[in-house]
Amino acid sequence: MLLFSHFFAIAKFVYLCGEERQHRVIPFVDIHTHLPLAEETIGLTSHRLGIEPTAGIGADSSVGIHPWDVEKVGAVEPLLRQMRSIPCRAIGEAGLDKACDADFSRQMEFFERQVVIAAERNIPLIIHCVRAQSEILAILRHYPNLKAVIFHGFIGSPEQATELTSRGYHISFGFGALRSPKTVNALRGCSGSALFLESDTADGSVSTLYEQVAEVRKVDVATLKREIYDNYIRIFG
């Protein structure tokens, strides 16, 4: 038989759990970096398969064949076999880049084959996109059941951002976004449920990026951290 004291103890436990969740320190999320993750930061360190050594790839890694590398890595089949089994949290960065010299048809082939692997493994896809949003979206339309798609290092207009988020994709902004007025407007208007931030290869700290983005979005850093952390947990568990 439960006594009043038992109900009081249960209520106190639930209250304290809620208090702990409310007041615990929320980490920064750096969704895409080529450097070791900073202290008090969670996220993904990106590895360029076929170019960089695979040692150290693990639970906090994304792995992909970068569009810049499609003519440097040689035969693709061994790399794709490796990509199917290597321990990682996401596939990428993979994508298309019209500003580089790599053969575009080869970029297209490599990209779609990596999309297939992300779908097979049911893990998120991190996309590198330069002047090729329409081509990438045309490919992604054939893979509607991808676990998640994150366009990293977004530099584009509010209209381009809306086109991505309306399809359920996520957008990650870095320091470069703050140097582009149109991208600042995209960042300001981006839905919080679609938002990520990243340091990529920048010298600046991810904490500094959060401060600058919080100012753009007119929120405090704690609110921004919670918003992005919730997105991370929703996708990566």
Number of domain units in the chain: 1
Q: Is residue 18 situated within a structural domain?
A: no
Average pLDDT estimate for 61-86: 96
Residue 40 in this model has a pLDDT that exceeds 60: yes
pTM to 2 decimals? Answer: 0.90
Average pLDDT estimate for 210-222: 98
Signed CA dihedral, 28, 21, 190, 43: sign only: positive
Contact present, 206 and 185 (Cβ < 8 Å): no
Q: Is residue 13 situated within a structural domain?
A: no
How sure is the predictor about 22, in pLDDT bands with cuts at 50, 70 and 90? low
Average pLDDT estimate for 191-208: 95
pLDDT at 56: 83
Q: Is residue 83 situated within a structural domain?
A: yes
Say how far apart CA 149 and CA 167 lie, in whole Å. 10
Average pLDDT estimate for 48-56: 92
Contact present, 119 and 146 (Cβ < 8 Å): yes
CATH of the domain at 202: 3.20.20.140
Domain hosting residue 54, numbered range = 27-236
Average pLDDT, the chain: 91
How sure is the predictor about 18, in pLDDT bands with cuts at 50, 70 and 90? very low
Q: Is residue 3 situated within a structural domain?
A: no
Q: Which range has the worst mean pLDDT, 6-20, 31-45, 184-198?
A: 6-20
Angle (nearest 5°) at CA 53 between 57 and 80: 75
Q: Is residue 217 situated within a structural domain?
A: yes
Q: Is residue 2 situated within a structural domain?
A: no
Say how far apart CA 32 and CA 26 lie, in whole Å. 18
pLDDT more than 70, % of the chain: 90
Q: Is residue 107 situated within a structural domain?
A: yes
pLDDT more than 90, % of the chain: 85
pLDDT at 5: 42
How sure is the predictor about 203, in pLDDT bands with cuts at 50, 70 and 90? confident
The 10s digit of each residue's pLDDT in 134-159 is 999 999 999 999 999 999 999 999 99
Residue 43 in this model has a pLDDT that exceeds 80: yes
Residue 175 in this model has a pLDDT that exceeds 60: yes
The 10s digit of each residue's pLDDT in 80-108 is 999 999 999 999 999 999 999 999 999 99
pLDDT at 4: 42
Angle (nearest 5°) at CA 205 between 203 and 206: 125
